[in-house]
Chain A
């Protein structure tokens, strides 16, 4: 069971702002989903290695070569706020 406080905490970690109605809804829906997921505990996975990738590619290397890339103008084309040809972000130290 995911409490409303837990939902608010997770939302903060995920950088999502939820209103009270959403907190209520997700608390219920996520609890149902987590309850469903509990069934994985029935499976004995001792001595089983995890699978994170099925392609089996390991350390794919490439020559470090200079190629064409986006121009500064292109790279900034979709930014909603820009200043002096840079992206603008929130300040880290002086909010």
Chain B
């Protein structure tokens, strides 16, 4: 019984509760039982709440939760108890969602493997010797291992899409401004965007409907709420752009094969495949690291141990590295050469997408150049780690929505298809993802734990 309950999607769970197939108490105890068996092995939850009601969701530990310890994966916040909820959390609570736990993550959301947390490493449920991806490592692994119905994460340069891909779940980074950032422990404010990890695309749509919309506490949040429109039945009339730049050197052959097959499937479902070009892709990582490091160095200045938190000596090495890089880039005499230059290249990257979207409705390609890699493999070389985000960073710089959806396996490890859309056209991204999901069986594959 309990295994059945925990394998249901959010939409299925809501329906089963309405039909009174099981109670909210049964639902919570089924998930709590699974957590007690698997959490230690996987390193997913930092805090677990033993609720008896509500629909259990996991919340990434950079999203603040009233009266529940929130560490952002950092020793600097090892005893921080927020006095209020993030807007996204507040909105979920009004929908009968309960917080089952706070999920592990790279410190201050900085990392691509989950290994930068100060509170232990999260393992990939598909292979415990592999990384789950990051920085929303625990949220992705939690949904993959059925330890919660869905989870919230944050995506700054791929921190939702990449771990979703590596853990074989659906991950949505909404358009920048679609969802309020109020109550996120900020990493890079011009890029940070909360989003979801779910078992299906229909679930992503539901969560986005709940968490989106204007917020007086975030001036970048657009007033208009996400309203789901009629779902697509097939892909007739949809133009799918394939950027050649996402299939060049560095892309693993096994991943490429799976992605090409997924594109063929989209064509079979009625889509018209068009070649598009995103010529500034190769400059995205350099642009991104200057912009985020600069924003990080200012955002993390607030950690002065006066109002909250421990002393700055408690920063781990990745936050320190980024604070150093950003402080240097913004320091007198270097601003024009670094930050200003990067902001201009960002314009060119954004224009690449605008031009490409004249020829297509969505753009598809790989999320990650490889499947999940071995724990420890890239940790000593920050630059190599940064390069693993090559396909997710450009969309973040442009602020456009991106979905990672399971599309197959390479050597037993999940591969995600990335679907990118026009700014504020989250609906088409979800629509295409849903048609693909319903025509394939990938979501039914579960890790053996």
* A residues at B contact (CB < 8 Å): 2, 6-7, 10-11, 13-18, 22, 26, 29-30, 32-34, 36-37, 39-43, 45, 48-55, 57, 60, 62, 70, 74-75, 77-81, 87-89
Contacts and interface: CB of A to CB of B under 8 A. Distances in A.
A11 to B, nearest CB: 7
Contact of B306 (A2, A7, A43, A88): A88
The interface centre, meaning the residue of A14, A16, A40, A77 with most chain B CB atoms within 10 A of its CB, is A14
A29 B293 CA distance: 14
Contact of B290 (A37, A42, A70): A37
B18 interface: no
B346 A51 contact: yes
Interface in B302-343: 304-310, 312-313, 315, 317, 320-321, 323-325, 327-328, 331, 338, 340-343
Contact of B83 (A11, A42, A77): A77
Enumerate the 4 nearest inter-chain pairs by beta-carbon distance, A residue then B residue, closest first. A54-B399, A50-B343, A78-B308, A45-B344
B341 A40 contact: yes
Contact of A37 (B176, B282, B297, B338): B338
Contact of B327 (A14, A49, A51, A60): A14
B1 interface: no
Contacts of A37: 286, 289-290, 338
Contact of B307 (A7, A16, A54, A79): A79
Given A36-B286, A53-B190, A78-B307, A60 B219 contact: yes
A80 B80 CA distance: 10
Nearest to B176: A54
> Is chain A's interface secondary structure helix, strand, loop, or mixed overall?
loop
A40 B399 contact: no
B321 A29 contact: yes
B348 A48 contact: yes
A77 B310 contact: no
A30 B320 CA distance: 11
A37 B399 CA distance: 21
Contact of A16 (B312, B383, B423): B312
Nearest to B347: A51
B185 to A, nearest CB: 13
Interface residues of B, number: 58
A2 B283 contact: no
A49 B348 CA distance: 9
B220 A7 contact: no
B316 to A, nearest CB: 12
Given A13-B331, A16-B323, A43-B283, A53 B220 contact: yes
A78 to B, nearest CB: 4
A70 to B, nearest CB: 6
B423 to A, nearest CB: 7
B327 A36 contact: no
Interface in B274-297: 280, 282-283, 285-287, 289-290, 297
B118 to A, nearest CB: 16
A57 to B, nearest CB: 6
A53 B176 CA distance: 9
Contacts of B325: 30, 33-34
B371 to A, nearest CB: 25
A89 B321 CA distance: 26
B306 A79 contact: yes
B432 interface: no
B72 interface: no
B341 A45 contact: yes
